[in-house]
Structure 1
Amino acid sequence: MSAFDAIVIGAGQAGPSLAFRLAATGRRVAMVERDAVGGTCVNTGCTPTKTLVASARVAQQARRAAEYGVVLPGGVGIDWPRVKARMDAVVARSRDGLTRSLESTENITLIRGHARFTGPQEVVVNRERLEAPWIFLDVGGRAAAPPIPGLDSVPWLTNTALLRLDALPRHLAIIGGSYIGLEFAQIFRRFGCAVTVVELAPRLIPREDEEVSATIREMLEAEGVVFHLNAKGLAVAPDGAGIALRLEGEAEIQASHLLLATGRKPNTDDLGLDAAGIARDALGFITVDEALQTSLAGVWALGECNGRGAFTHTAYNDYEIVADNLLNAATRKLTDRLPCYALFTDPPLGRVGMSEAEARAAGHEILIGRRPMARVNRAVEKGETTGFIKIVVDATTRQILGAAILGVEGDEAIHGLLDLMYAKAPAWVMQRAVHIHPTVSELIPTVMGDLEPG
């Protein structure tokens, strides 16, 4: 038996930060990781995909060069091995740097292997028993495969496998028209692949307002992505060296590769949670209270595995909540957090708080401010006028309920509204702010001054 002050299982976005923080207080920490340090974000999520987004954007800008008076003789070509090598190098830099830090930090022992509970405060890794009064789970999640007829008869890709391809797909079919699917659709279309997206819902990213869904569909269709929405009777079958997708009432889709982008499930099915009495919900997520403690005292679940946020920034905030509460006697809780995220298409979507539909459903009388990006000087000057700014405000309190900025730099400009919402400042504070010209953010005060009943 090896005794520690804390055991952290999973080196994703919350785990290492917590390990460093605990080790700095003199506590002995076992950092357990069965696979690559850095978790999904570093290895198969944010870091590699946003690196690909950058390469795909350069390719698209090169195709549009003549619009800006720039002549590129010879056309635009994609060297996938070099694109992939750049992506892999960026990933390795982040992963290896974090690994070295964990290995060299005093009071942290990095243990490679799969951890399973054998009792309330005890786990086994590589046949070695570890115990600690504090145990933290940051085990993440993985791609889920829906029950599609014929799926077991064809090769298919997850987001992880797609990143490992040695050659570009001739025709990439994507099942799932939400955030992951749409980012990959644009990336590979810009790399010259034929791309078809199949979505069972009537519209893309249905959690967003309809105008967001419609605009994103229009901008991707303009780049050549083909959509099949409200798909019925989906089935797949082998088709020579490729895959055939069959839909009721539609022509067969013949693809060379198939990506499933239909959601994720937590990595909680092989942790021995039952042996420790740690509860999970019907979907396998570890249940936690507002301070992220599980049903077992002394055990906390952070990041994607708790079902309370599937983003790097929410995982990191989980770490901050737990560390502050344990080490500083704070009383931070999950409900202090505002929902915020981005869709990293180009242009991106930045989102915070409620959508218009959510605000109405919650019973708010609302005011709405809108501004098309075609009336934002920065967007016009850059030649990127797709999208709009939309802000939803409570008509009585003038508190900002939510916002969407779909357009150039929308993923950055949204933070001004996010900060104002955390400060609980009314809309007029932003309306009177003076922003720098020419930027996207400078139009937000103008939008606040044009609020109208929704």
Structure 2
Amino acid sequence: METADLIVIGSGQGGIPLASDFAQEGRRAVIFERDVLGGSCINYGCTPSKAFLAAAHAAGRARHADKLGIHAQVNVDFPAVMQRVRGIKGSFNQGIHKRLEDAGVKIVFAEASFVGEKTVAGGNFVVQAPIIVINTGTSALVPDIPGLAGTPYLTNRNFFDLKELPPRLVVIGGGYISLELGQGLARLGSQTQIIVRGDRLLDAEEPEVSATLAQALEQDGIKLHFHAEAKQVAYQNGIFTATLNSGEELQAEALLVATGRKPNTQALNAAATGVELDDRGYIKISDRFATTGDGIYAIGDAARQPAFTHVSWEDYRRLKAILAGENRTRSDRVLGYAVYTEPQVGRVGMTLEQAQQKGINARSVTLQMSQIARAIEWGHDLGFYRMVIDNDTNKILGATLVGYEAGEIVHVFLDLIAAEATWQLLEQSVHIHPTYGEALPSLARLYQQ
């Protein structure tokens, strides 16, 4: 058995920089990876999906340019689109391998499990360390639908292996993965239908967000089936048939399953070192990322942290500070995120409902995109900007933006909230005309009305 100063299980976006930092400081770091370096973000998450959406949204914008007087014929070279996606993914992956090797991190390509107190084994390699960080992430949660198992259905894990554009696509699920990839294939030419169990898309968001995205998807020719469940799946002669609870049958050459995530903790044998899991298999952690096992920490979505790369990377920064004796926690940050549909959704902080549930005397103000000069000029008038304000302190508590490049605009609110700024500061700001950002002081002025 060998020894190290740090063991990292999983090479996600939090574990990689932590292992690299340890090694560059002259300490021995070992990282276990059962699959490919980079975790979900680089291999089947952020990187390939956004490269894929770059092509899809370019095609979609061209088709929708008729309202600007531009009538385009769009020819999609789908194999070239996917070849580019895989090329970018491969380049990023190679960069991570080089980074770890240059730092001096020992990489063990094997599934890791605990075999004793602070002892991890993978392949033929066994190592012990005083500090262990679990960074194993999550994977697609596939529902137990009769007939689904054994068919060549897609998840985000194998979606980017597609070589040919499927003429028809059925998507099961109404979350952000379903919407991004479903809209993406629709814009590239697939006839797309989405099965949604509830009454709206992105049901964790405000109802107006769901309604706006439903309108946008329908404009792309996507058929939405609400209050629907796939009760049975059949696959024959290259065609999927999904039978809904209503009895309706949907047929397509491709079936995408995006119904949730599950933690990659099954193989850890966590009990061998005193690490407790919750009832869904996620790792229990304190506000300082500590598990119930001495010297063992967990970061990222395997520990029920929000499933975003920037959160995992910020977990790394905080955990590194904690290990150095600093007083940091996983709660001392303002979190935002984006959904890369078109229009995009940018979210940060609290919604009005969330603020009121906390007992805060709050109010929200909303500005429709159809009232913003730049949006009208560019033909991007679907969506809205919303800000939540504490009536007692005038501080900005949160924002919901739905519109063109809302994932970029929302950073203004992220920084304002982190600075504990008031709506007056935003209202007094002079933003450039004509821009989307120009609407933010206008949004703040609505609070006075």
Where on the TM-score scale, by shorter chain, does this alignment land: which range? over 0.9
> Partner of 2:89 in structure 1?
91
SS in 1 for 2:267: coil
CA distance in 1, matches of 2:343, 2:436: 13
- 1:210-230, CA deviations, whole angstroms, 9 ceiling, x for partnerless residues? 111001000110110110011
CA distance in 1, matches of 2:245, 2:67: 41
1:160 aligns with 2:157: yes
CA distance in 1, matches of 2:233, 2:351: 35
1:267 aligns with 2:264: yes
> Partner of 1:418 in structure 2?
414
Q: TM-score, normalised by structure 1?
A: 0.95
1:202-241 to structure 2, matched below 5 A, reads 202-232=199-229, 234-238=231-235, 240-241=237-238
Task: State which drifts further: 441-450 or 358-367.
Answer: 358-367
> Partner of 1:347 in structure 2?
343
> Partner of 1:30 in structure 2?
30
Which of the numbers 308, 329, 332 marks the counterpart of 2:328?
332
> Partner of 1:53 in structure 2?
53
CA distance in 2, matches of 1:199, 1:312: 26
1:12-31 to structure 2, matched below 5 A, reads 12-31=12-31
> Partner of 1:387 in structure 2?
383
- In the TM superposition, what is the alpha-carbon distance from 1:360 to its structure 2 partner? 3.0
Percent identity of paired positions between Structure 1 and Structure 2:
37
- 1:87-125, CA deviations, whole angstroms, 9 ceiling, x for partnerless residues? 01111111101111111223x222221211111211112
> Partner of 2:362 in structure 1?
366
Cα distance 1:206–1:391, how it changes in 2: closer, same or farther (>3 A)? same
CA distance in 1, matches of 2:149, 2:345: 35
> Partner of 1:194 in structure 2?
191
- 1:309-329, CA deviations, whole angstroms, 9 ceiling, x for partnerless residues? 2110110011011001112x2
CA distance in 2, matches of 1:290, 1:42: 27
1:105-120 to structure 2, matched below 5 A, reads 105-106=103-104, 108-120=105-117
Letter of the 1:131 counterpart: Q
- After superposition, the CA RMSD in angstroms is 1.7
- In the TM superposition, what is the alpha-carbon distance from 1:203 to its structure 2 partner? 0.9
- In the TM superposition, what is the alpha-carbon distance from 1:416 to its structure 2 partner? 0.9
1:302 aligns with 2:299: yes
Task: State which drifts further: 351-360 or 313-322.
Answer: 351-360
Please say if residues 367 and 452 of structure 1, whose CA atoms lie closer than 8 Å, have aligned partners that are also in contact. Answer: no
Letter of the 2:152 counterpart: P
Please say if residues 153 and 238 of structure 1, whose CA atoms lie closer than 8 Å, have aligned partners that are also in contact. Answer: no
> Partner of 1:278 in structure 2?
275
CA distance in 2, matches of 1:211, 1:204: 10
CA distance in 1, matches of 2:185, 2:132: 41
CA distance in 1, matches of 2:413, 2:230: 42
Letter of the 1:89 counterpart: G
Gaps of 5+ in 1: none
- In the TM superposition, what is the alpha-carbon distance from 1:301 to its structure 2 partner? 0.6
SS in 1 for 2:346: strand
- In the TM superposition, what is the alpha-carbon distance from 1:247 to its structure 2 partner? 2.1
SS in 2 for 1:123: strand
Please say if residues 209 and 356 of structure 1, whose CA atoms lie closer than 8 Å, have aligned partners that are also in contact. Answer: no
CA distance in 2, matches of 1:147, 1:428: 52
SS in 2 for 1:157: coil
- 1:126-148, CA deviations, whole angstroms, 9 ceiling, x for partnerless residues? 22211111111111110001222
CA distance in 1, matches of 2:231, 2:384: 34
Task: State which drifts further: 413-422 or 244-253.
Answer: 244-253
SS in 1 for 2:359: coil
- In the TM superposition, what is the alpha-carbon distance from 1:232 to its structure 2 partner? 5.0
Task: State which drifts further: 260-269 or 354-363.
Answer: 354-363
CA distance in 2, matches of 1:101, 1:239: 46
Letter of the 2:195 counterpart: V
Cα distance 1:314–1:385, how it changes in 2: closer, same or farther (>3 A)? same
> Partner of 1:291 in structure 2?
288
> Partner of 1:146 in structure 2?
143
Cα distance 1:71–1:145, how it changes in 2: closer, same or farther (>3 A)? closer
Cα distance 1:312–1:223, how it changes in 2: closer, same or farther (>3 A)? same
- In the TM superposition, what is the alpha-carbon distance from 1:238 to its structure 2 partner? 3.5
Letter of the 2:441 counterpart: P
- In the TM superposition, what is the alpha-carbon distance from 1:330 to its structure 2 partner? 1.1
CA distance in 2, matches of 1:255, 1:440: 39
SS in 2 for 1:324: helix
Task: State which drifts further: 348-357 or 217-226.
Answer: 348-357
CA distance in 2, matches of 1:253, 1:153: 19
- In the TM superposition, what is the alpha-carbon distance from 1:240 to its structure 2 partner? 4.5
SS in 1 for 2:59: helix
SS in 2 for 1:152: coil
Letter of the 1:436 counterpart: I
SS in 2 for 1:169: coil
Please say if residues 10 and 138 of structure 1, whose CA atoms lie closer than 8 Å, have aligned partners that are also in contact. Answer: yes
Letter of the 1:207 counterpart: A
Aligned residues between the structures:
449
- In the TM superposition, what is the alpha-carbon distance from 1:426 to its structure 2 partner? 1.9
- In the TM superposition, what is the alpha-carbon distance from 1:65 to its structure 2 partner? 4.5
Please say if residues 153 and 237 of structure 1, whose CA atoms lie closer than 8 Å, have aligned partners that are also in contact. Answer: no
Please say if residues 239 and 254 of structure 1, whose CA atoms lie closer than 8 Å, have aligned partners that are also in contact. Answer: no
Which of the numbers 430, 436, 440 marks the counterpart of 1:440?
436
Task: State which drifts further: 233-242 or 212-221.
Answer: 233-242
CA distance in 2, matches of 1:146, 1:380: 43
Task: State which drifts further: 263-272 or 349-358.
Answer: 349-358
